[in-house]
Amino acid sequence: QHPSQTLLDLYTIRARRGRLDNLKIAFVGDLKYSRTVHSLIETLTHFDNEIFLISPPTLRMPPEFIEELDARGTAWREDEDFFAVAIDVDILYTTRIQQERFPDAVEYEKVKNAYRIDRASIERIGGNVTVMHPLPRLNEISRDLDDYPGSAYFDQARTGAEALAATEKKTFDVIVLDLNLPGMTGLDVAAAVEKSSRPHPHIVVVTGCGGAQEWRDLRGLGVDAMLLKPFNAEQLLVAVEQATR
For residue 72, report the phi and psi dihedrals to the nearest 5 degrees: -85, -5
Beta bridge partners of 199: none
- Band of residue 243 on the pLDDT scale cut at 50, 70, 90: low
- Band of residue 104 on the pLDDT scale cut at 50, 70, 90: confident
β 50-54/173-178 pair status: unpaired
* The pLDDT of residue 213: 55
Mean pLDDT of 89-118: 85
User: Measured between alpha carbons, how far is residue 113 from residues 17, 28, 53, 56, 168 in Å?
Assistant: 29, 12, 17, 10, 38
Beta bridge partners of 28: 54, 94
Query: Which pLDDT tens digit goes with each residue over 142-200?
Result: 999 998 999 998 888 777 666 555 555 555 555 555 444 455 555 555 565 555 555 55
pLDDT at 90 over 70: yes
| Weakest-pLDDT range from 34-38, 121-125, 162-166 | 162-166
- Band of residue 209 on the pLDDT scale cut at 50, 70, 90: very low
β 91-94/130-132 pair status: parallel
Give the Cα separation of 17 and 130 in Å (integer). 8
Give the Cα separation of 226 and 171 in Å (integer). 16
Query: Which pLDDT tens digit goes with each residue over 60-77?
Result: 999 999 999 999 999 999
Nearest CA to 60 out of 33, 20, 96 is that of 33
Helix intervals (H) in the chain: 3-17, 35-44, 63-71, 82-85, 105-111, 119-125, 153-169, 186-196, 212-219, 233-243
- Band of residue 93 on the pLDDT scale cut at 50, 70, 90: very high
Task: Give the DSSP per-residue string, 133-190.
Answer: --S--SSSB-GGGTT-TTB-HHHHHHHHHHHHHHHHH---EEEEEETTSTT--HHHHH
* The pLDDT of residue 86: 82
* The pLDDT of residue 101: 76
